[in-house]
Amino acid sequence: MIWSNLKTKHYAVRERTILDLFDETRGDDFSVETAYMRFDYSKTNIDVPTRKMLITLADDAGVAARRDAMFSGKKINETEGRSVLHTALRNLDGSPVIVDGIDVMPKVLATLERLFIYANEIRQSNITDVVNIGIGGSDLGPAMAVQALSPYQNGLRCHFVSNVDGANIADVLCELDAKKTLVIVASKTFTTIETMTNARTARVWMKKNGGDISAQFVALSSNLEKTAEFGIPPERVFGFEDWVGGRYSIWGPIGLSIMLAIGSYNFRDFLRGAEEMDRHFCDTKGAANMPLMLALTGIWHRQICGFISHAVLPYDQRLVLLPSYLQQLEMESNGKSVTMDGSSLTLESGPLVWGAPGTNGQHAFYQLLHQGTTVIPCEFMIAAKGHETELSHHHDLLVANCLAQSEALMRGRSLNDARALLVDKFNGPELCRQAAHRVFSGNRPSTTLMYPKLDPFTLGQIIALYEHRVFVEGVILGINSFDQWGVELGKELAMALQPIVIGKQTADTKDSSTKSLVAYLHRQRI
């Protein structure tokens, strides 16, 4: 019933302009502010009755109960029979989290301490470069965070290899000194085909160039047998439990490259930021809950309004990888077509997520955002101040651009206003023609997340905020946000195709397209 009521509401207000909702208080009334950041969703078509219905939707879906079940260690990943406890990795206060009758926190904190000790040892050694080999969550998260927190780096250079394309690892290794390079191999099972292919290539390179494999390789894995076979001693293996999914794993051993880049003190601040967002998510109700309102805004735009995508637009060059990170987080989590009980999802699933940092995006795809035929909700992010105090005028211009874009999306420009701008340059039919090209429909929704400064604590807050947003949306849709069966089929077929590609098997069993492409491939290799 509530879904149909929301659809009816959307139908009733779809022609209403967002600007018509504004009075002196809307900016505050439709924002959520914590001690550390402010989320503004006032530039959307959500009004007080709509917000009330959306909160009722979350209540009816049992978001609070499901949240409490997640934090307490219940096995809410029902298709895999697992708990979902990435939040335990940043539970620095160590309050008990029980899984199968056992408090997991002592082991979590012990592993974290081992990581801190190891990271400090490496930072004080002759190692100058770190190569993190992973894929998906074991690559996107660390790579994004290291880039985002570059002002806090001091010494070690971190490089990331994920693509099985040989160009990726070749381009990274070619300028490094094998004797001064640490290689991190990040794979829970230590069998991930792309990661292990790259790891073996790195091992050959290190041996050939005078490095010590036993001392300069570290594994982030739970498979001690495989890591030993590879040549990595157990003291340089850091495992993690099956209740930590790849795209949620940045907080534990997968974050080793971040620790090495920014130090254990700053990494602890990173965890503290996420922990603080966890507290806020658990302790705050209704419209004052930031992850809840971010999620409900997303539900309104995707499932109710029918907007197929949203753009993530951080006005911070150091967050250049954040759209890609959130792309995996949201699309792998909520890109589902089956509900928890195995029935078909009758609603639209998660949106297409994309974006780029401003102001670069303004000169690339903002034309589509402003004047394209498809409405794309935008999610802006901006820090109140930058790190480069001597370049504060740059940051002032950056902030001005960010705020101006959200205003322009909302306000637009009428034909009459466009004509008035051109009346001194054109007249008659040409004035009308030229003015038509300068019309902006406006009424395009956006949200803005603003925070004091992009530091480790704030980055932890942002990532945890979006993790919880994905969780809430998944609960409301009735899907499992913590499995990814859609990733597996392609991997299975790739394994089956490899012998055909190298010519050890024929392609006779394959479709005509695959068969002819393989034939062309072989002709080109002769």
- Average confidence (pLDDT) over 238-254: 94
Report the C-alpha gap between 97 and 143 in whole angstroms: 29
Q: Are residues 473 and 346 in the same domain?
A: yes
Q: Are residues 221 and 116 in the same domain?
A: yes
Report the C-alpha gap between 186 and 195 in whole angstroms: 7
Closest CA to 38 of 462, 476, 491: 462
Is residue 400 included in any domain, yes or no?
no
Report the C-alpha gap between 108 and 111 in whole angstroms: 5
Q: Are residues 479 and 490 in the same domain?
A: no
Report the C-alpha gap between 255 and 139 in whole angstroms: 10
- Residue 150's domain is classified under what CATH number? 3.40.50.10490
Q: How confident is the model at residue 278 (pLDDT cuts 50, 70, 90)?
A: very high
Report the C-alpha gap between 506 and 101 in whole angstroms: 52
Q: Is the pTM for the entire model greater than 0.85?
A: yes
Mark which of 211, 234, 269 sits at the end of a domain.
269
- Residue 72 phi/psi, 5-degree rounding, is -85, -5
pLDDT, averaged across the chain: 96
Name 384's Cβ contacts closer than 8 Å, sequence gap at least 6: 399, 450, 451, 452, 453
Is residue 128 included in any domain, yes or no?
yes
- Residue 266 phi/psi, 5-degree rounding, is -70, -35
Q: How confident is the model at residue 154 (pLDDT cuts 50, 70, 90)?
A: confident
Q: Are residues 203 and 313 in the same domain?
A: no
The DSSP line for 169-205 is: HHHHHTTS-GGGEEEEEE-SSS--HHHHHHHHHHHHH
Return the residue matching tokens 């002196």: 24
Q: How confident is the model at residue 165 (pLDDT cuts 50, 70, 90)?
A: very high
The DSSP line for 281-347 is: HHH--GGG-HHHHHHHHHHIIIIIT---EEEEEES-GGGTTHHHHHHHHHHHHH--SB-TTSPBP-S
Peptide bond into 346 cis (omega under 30): no
β-strands 352-355, 217-220: how paired? unpaired
Is residue 79 included in any domain, yes or no?
no
Q: Are residues 91 and 204 in the same domain?
A: yes
Range of the domain at 188: 86-269
Is residue 474 included in any domain, yes or no?
yes
- Residue 517's domain is classified under what CATH number? 1.10.1390.10
Q: Are residues 313 and 458 in the same domain?
A: yes
- Residue 102 phi/psi, 5-degree rounding, is -120, 135
Report the C-alpha gap between 498 and 94 in whole angstroms: 46
CB 267 within 8 A of CB 259: yes
- Residue 491 phi/psi, 5-degree rounding, is -65, -45
Helices (H) and strands (E) in the chain, counts: 21, 13
Is residue 511 included in any domain, yes or no?
yes
Q: Are residues 120 and 254 in the same domain?
A: yes
Is the pLDDT reported for residue 451 higher than 80? yes
- Average confidence (pLDDT) over 304-318: 97
- DSSP class of residue 238 equals E
CB 136 within 8 A of CB 142: no
| Run of H or E residues at 311 | strand 309-314
- DSSP class of residue 218 equals E
Q: What are the catalytic residues?
A: 332, 363, 491
According to the model, what pLDDT value does residue 489 have?
81
Residue-wise pLDDT for 42-68, tens only, equals 999 999 999 999 999 999 999 999 999
According to the model, what pLDDT value does residue 494 have?
86
Q: Are residues 64 and 144 in the same domain?
A: no
Q: Are residues 148 and 207 in the same domain?
A: yes
Tell me the three-class secondary structure of 114-176, residue by residue. HHHHHHHHHHCCCCCEEEEECCCHHHHHHHHHHHHCHHHCCCCEEEEECCCCHHHHHHHHCCC
- Average confidence (pLDDT) over 493-501: 89
Report the C-alpha gap between 238 and 327 in whole angstroms: 27
Residue-wise pLDDT for 339-386, tens only, equals 999 999 999 999 999 999 988 999 999 999 999 999 999 999 999 999
C-alpha distances out from residue 456 to 147, 259, 279, Å: 12, 11, 17
Is the pLDDT reported for residue 262 higher than 80? yes
| Run of H or E residues at 9 | helix 2-13
Is the pLDDT reported for residue 155 higher than 80? no
C-alpha distances out from residue 53 to 9, 32, 61, 143, 454, Å: 10, 18, 12, 39, 34
CB 304 within 8 A of CB 351: no
Is residue 167 included in any domain, yes or no?
yes
Q: Are residues 256 and 310 in the same domain?
A: no
Mark which of 236, 269, 302 sits at the end of a domain.
269
Is residue 311 included in any domain, yes or no?
yes
Report the C-alpha gap between 317 and 150 in whole angstroms: 11
Total domains, the chain: 3
Structure tokens at 391: 């370049």
According to the model, what pLDDT value does residue 492 have?
83
Is the pLDDT reported for residue 426 higher than 90? yes
Mark which of 269, 297, 324 sits at the end of a domain.
269
Q: Are residues 497 and 469 in the same domain?
A: no
For the chain, the residue count is 526
Residue-wise pLDDT for 85-96, tens only, equals 999 999 999 899
Report the C-alpha gap between 435 and 415 in whole angstroms: 6
Sheet holding 31-33, edge to edge: 31-33, 38-40, 446-451, 378-383, 309-314, 352-355
- Residue 377 phi/psi, 5-degree rounding, is -55, 140
Report the C-alpha gap between 315 and 216 in whole angstroms: 37
Is residue 502 included in any domain, yes or no?
yes
Strand partners for 174:
none
Q: Are residues 145 and 256 in the same domain?
A: yes
